[in-house]
Amino acid sequence: MITNWLTNLHDPGKVIYDAFLLPGDFVLTQFVAHAPTLALRLGIGGESDGLMLPAVLSLLVWLLLVVVAWKFIRLLQNVARIVNAAIRTICFRISCGIRSIKTKLVCTLRQRIPRRGSSGADTIPEVQIDNLDLAVLRTSAALAPGLALSAPELAGQLTLRPAQVQRSLDKLRKYELVDSVIGSTDGFDNYRLTDSGAFFLADWQRRRKGGQPPTATTPIK
């Protein structure tokens, strides 16, 4: 069969057909070689069996190979998913362990560093103010009495993102320079300037007009 296949290389159709029958001919040849008695009883004699039996056997063999290949590909995909999940789990646990160790180290250092004792006098809280915070305070101070502003409105006036303005409002609210009021705008809270915020802004402007360099750290009075 192999000799005939090599001889007929000039005929592509013949080559393809012989390649298709190759598994069936091989199975029949091996069966006759290893079980000649049973082959004779079944009437199988190798080359004299026509084309039907080799074709059926070849079709079964090719189908079996396709099934095996498909199963193998599915197995590789499952293994790849399992390995990927395992790697992700290991990375997550490592990151959690690193964060836990970092937190423990920070807590240990804080416990060992002695805190400054209170001198008995009231300390004046310091406010870290940047240009965005000042712009928010000035815009809030320019409002008419009874009006409030939200992050989207301030962002539109300052040409910034609402999230940036909201962070500034949260910081100013923490320092009690602005306070939230009832109501919201586009899901963001409304705020108004407090008395401390108005005093702070007036003090900062007075320092600037008086020739004193305004600092980013200013005490609240």
Grade residue 172 by pLDDT with cuts at 50, 70 and 90.
Answer: confident
Domain ranges of the chain: 1-115, 126-219
**What's the pTM value of the predicted model, to 2 decimals?**
0.40
Query: 160 — phi, psi (to 5°)?
Result: -130, 175
Residue with tokens 């393809």: 16
What are 40-82's pLDDT values in tens digits?
666 665 454 556 677 777 888 888 888 999 999 999 999 999 9
CB burial class (10 A; 0-12, 13-18, 19+) of residue 46?
A: middle
What's the fold here for domain 126-219?
Arc Repressor Mutant, subunit A (1.10.10)
- Dump pLDDT digits (tens) for 141-168: 887 777 787 888 888 888 888 888 888 8
